[in-house]
Every structure is written in structure tokens, then in C-alpha cells.
A = this chain, B = another copy of it.
């Protein structure tokens, strides 16, 4: 192997491929990154066996070859170099790197030992711009379950049943709260046939780790992300990279039925104001009770946020609200409430409340594509 590429491109690639967390300590080669010349480019690959990423860097290839080197050392070294050309040369199992006045030799391990990263040879089911998909994932992620007892809700549901209406829906829940985000696609960016070829799939569940990795790797730009689906794997193509992840098995809960369609009271509030009131109320929750009370006064157009921890004190904040319906109060888990308002990226939110036995719904006042559902706590 012998090639030249720029420090800037190589460093950018390592920002993506070099960050996969290896949880499999029994296979030390997973701490390495695979470098391989590939059709006139340098391909960098990394995997933790659950997900794998490939990233191609434009290079002047003088000699083909492949090797694996310790990821962190290689990434730290490249990031310390000046923005100039990097010459990479393999001699036996030692990678020789030169850039400006820097010269280094890094000991590698044979590429033969490196696990194969699977491929899906198929057409994309849909394309969507990077930033829209990233933002949607950020919004639903907090609601994903961390409990391993119900494996099917430890990922994000990608519901494809509305592709005919040019929509995909992302859903996450931990059974206490639920986030649902609908994304509208351009017709020309949908290829339903590709889905049919993959088997009779109407939805897939993407593991939480893959979602977190995608959020880290996707840029905030308008470039199109391509999503390719097979029976048990999903492939995301973006910029010069692709990321492949296994899918979670199991049947996702039929969540539609728990979302009420009638509400006793609706309150429109400023998101920043209520989020700060909730943060303050969070200072007065404790291990024994981490609940916050919301109280709606329809006459005075006030929503009151309060909490009490008997050992340390209590607190009460009044937030201006436009209220339709009756006076009402309900208790909520502090973190669930805080995550809910945290996901709303608009100025105003609507809180739709029934009695304390039915779920409460949060949405933005202007954009109904994001719905956050939260169960009140019984006092």
C-alpha cells in the first residue's frame, strides 16, 4: 500500500469512522481501524459487530494494499498534523506516515483478521435530506427504552406504512412516554418497489446505538441521505460514508391506540419559559419523589409548575398560558416532562391534558409533525 491524500479529508473521515465504541473487549482487533485501497480511493472501515461504517477518502493510490492500525492512536496522530498532504506507505506490517516535517511508524495488524462488514446490494427505499433526518432522530431519541427486558423498544421504529402518502414515521417509547415524528418526503425520493423486494416489510426497528451514531455522523446540510433496507439490516449512505446496522427483532407495540383524540383542557405556553420552570422544579425533586405538578387555572390564564421535596424545600412558578377548557392538575415524572419540552424546537407548545388517568399530549403549536405523549403519575 502506498498513497497520498490530504490531512483534512483523512481527519474528517476519522471523525466519523474513528468514533465507533467497541464494547467487545474479547476481540482486540476491534480497537483497530481497517485501511484498504479501493478503486482509486482509500477506504477506512470500523465495526463493533453490531454496526459498521465505511468512509472513502479521495487519494492518489500508487500501490494497492490493506492493513489495520490502532484507531485512537491513528486518529490522534492525523488530527495533530498540519493541513497538508499525507503520504502513507505500508512496509510489512508497519504503516509509515509522512506529512510536512512529521514522520511516524505505526505497528499494524493484518487486515485478514478483521471482521467482514456486511453489504446490502439494493436500491434505496427513500432519500431524505441529512439535517431533517438528524433532527427527527434527536427529537425521538430521549424516549427510547434503556431496559433490556423488552428488546423491541430499545430502538427507534421506522414506520414505512404511509409511504403511499409520501410519509415516514419515527417512533420511540419506553412505555412511560412516547415520541412520534412524521417526515414528509418528496415523491421522487421514494422507491416503494425496493421495499417490496426486501420482503413484505412495513416497518423496521433501528437499534439505539445506530441512531446515536447517525446523529453524530450526519451533517446539518441538505445533502440526500439514502436508506436501504433488507430483511434484517439497514444501510445509510451519506456524503462519502455508509453505515450498516443490524435491525432489532420483535414486534413493536401498537402505540396508536394509547394516544387520546379528545382532551379536557389545552394550554399554549412559551417553550423556553416552561422549560426553565421545569428545570427549576427539578431542583426540588428527590429520590423518593421525582414528580412535578402542573396546574392549569383557566380563569387567570396561568399554568403553575410546582414541586416539593420534604427534606429540602419546595418551589412554585407561574407560566403565562392561553387556556381552553377546565381547571386541571396532574403530576408528571420530572425527566419525562423535561425531555418532552426539550424536543420542541418551536417557540410555542400546546399541552393537551385529560384527567390524570389518561395520557397528556405535547406538540408544537405550529408544527403537528412531532407528538410527545406522557402518562401522568397518580398522586
Contacts and interface: CB of A to CB of B under 8 A. Distances in A.
Interface stretch (A175-183, A252-260, A309-317, A352-360): A309-317
B80 A280 contact: yes
Contacts of A313: 73, 94-95, 104-107
A73 B312 contact: yes
Contacts of A80: 276, 279-280, 283
Give the size range of A's interface with the partner: 20 to 34
Interface string A63-106: 00000001001001100110000000000001100000111111
Contacts of A95: 313
A102 B319 contact: no
A324 interface: no
Contact of A106 (B70, B277, B312): B312
A77 B316 CA distance: 12
Contact of A102 (B101, B102, B105, B317): B317
A132 to B, nearest CB: 32
Contact of A312 (B107, B283, B316): B107
Given A94-B313, A107-B313, A312-B73, A319 B101 contact: yes
Contacts of A319: 101
A319 B317 CA distance: 61
B103 A317 contact: yes
Contacts of A277: 101-102
Given A283-B73, A283-B76, A283-B77, A316 B104 contact: yes
A318 interface: yes
Contacts of A103: 315-317
Given A107-B311, A107-B312, A312-B70, A318 B276 contact: no
B283 A105 contact: no
Interface in A316-342: 316-319
A81 B319 CA distance: 13
Interface string A94-122: 11000001111111000000000000000
15 contacts: A70-B312, A77-B280, A94-B313, A95-B313, A101-B317, A102-B315, A102-B316, A103-B315, A103-B316, A104-B280, A104-B313, A104-B314, A106-B312, A107-B311, A107-B313
Given A102-B277, A102-B316, A103-B317, 7 more contacts: A77-B280, A101-B317, A101-B319, A103-B316, A104-B280, A104-B284, A107-B312
